[in-house]
Amino acid sequence: MTPANDRPTAVVTGASSGIGAATARHLAGAGFHVVLGARRAERCAEIATEIGGTALSLDVTDAGSVRAFADAVPEARVLVNNAGGAKGLEPVEQADEDDWRWMWETNVLGTLRVTQAFLPKLRASGDGHVITVTSIAALDFYDNGAGYTGAKHAQAMLHRTLRGELLGEPIRVTEICPGMVETEFSEVRFDGDAERAAKVYQGITPLTADDVADTITFAATRPSHVNLDQIVLKPRAQASGTRAHRE
C-alpha cells in the first residue's frame, strides 16, 4: 500500500459508487488518507488517484477477500461500513431466496466480517470510529420490502450492539440512516432496469450521495469525546419509507 504520509486512515467499503464514492472524496477533503474497497476496483482506483487515496479490491461476501483487504491496510482510524444494497421488491409470498441471501451476505455478514477485521486496528489507533450506513429501512418496515428491511434491521442490531460492547474503549460508533438517495441503488435493486429505477425518484428531490457523505464526514470530524449515535436524514419531501410528497 502507498504510504499514508501523516494523514489518519479512513476505510470506506462500497466506495466504487454512490454514497461510498462521495464519502471517500469528502473524507479526503477533511484530511484523511482514504482506502477505497469494492468489487469494481478500477472505479475505486480512479477515485483514489483523484484524492490521493488507495484502492483495493474487496468483496465483503468473501471472507478471504476481506482478510486480504484488511491485511493490506496497516492502520485505520475510521471505518465506514457502506457496502450494501437491496435486491427485489416483492411480497413475502413471492420473495426470491437468492435475493434475500444476497442482501444478508452483503449488508449483514459483510458488515460483520469487515468490522471484525478492522476493530483491532481501530482500537490500536487510540481514536477509532465505526460508521455504518444502515437506512430508514432499519427503523421501519414496508410492504414488499421485508428482505431489505430485515437485512438492514439485522445490520443495525450488529452495529448498535457494538456501542455497548465497546464502551470504555477509544472507539466511537455512529449509525447513518438515510432515506431516499439517488445513486445506483435502485438500478441494482431492479436488476439494471433503469426506467423502473428512475421512477423511484420522480417528482421528488432526493438526497444526493454528497448530502450523505457530508453528514458522515461531520460525524467523523467531531472531537473524540463526541459520539453521534444515530443520524437519520431524509429528503424534505419524504416522511417515511412509505410516505413522500411528489410534484
- Number of other CB atoms surrounding residue 227 within 10 Å: 13
Enclosing H/E stretch for 171: strand 171-178
Residue 245: CB minimum distance to ligand NAP, A: 17
| Angle (nearest 5°) at CA 24 between 88 and 73 | 100
**Residue 148 annotated in active site:** yes
Q: Does 210 sit near ligand NAP (CB under 6 A)?
A: no
Q: Does 59 sit near ligand NAP (CB under 6 A)?
A: yes
In whole angstroms, give the CA distance from residue 131 to residue 147. Answer: 23
Q: Does 9 sit near ligand NAP (CB under 6 A)?
A: no
CA-CA-CA-CA torsion sign (50, 51, 54, 55): negative
Q: Does 180 sit near ligand NAP (CB under 6 A)?
A: yes
Residue for grid cell 439485522: 154
Stretch near ligand NAP under the rule CB under 6 A, chosen from 10-18, 88-96, 119-127, 213-221: 10-18
Query: Identity (one letter) of the amino acid at 139?
Result: L
Residue 67: CB minimum distance to ligand NAP, A: 14
72-131 positions binding ligand NAP, by CB under 6 A: 82-85, 106
- The single residue among 8, 14, 88, 128 that binds ligand NAP, judged by CB under 6 A, is 14
- The single residue among 11, 38, 117, 130 that binds ligand NAP, judged by CB under 6 A, is 38
Give 16 or 174: the residue with its C-beta nearer to ligand NAP.
Answer: 16
Q: 148, 175, 188, 212: which is the annotated catalytic residue? A: 148
What single DSSP character describes residue 17? S
Strands laid side by side in the 128-133 sheet: 54-57, 33-38, 9-13, 78-81, 128-133, 171-178, 230-233
Interface with ligand NAP by CB under 6 A: which residues? 13-20, 38-40, 58-61, 82-85, 106, 133, 135, 178, 180-181, 183-185, 188, 209
Active site residues: 148
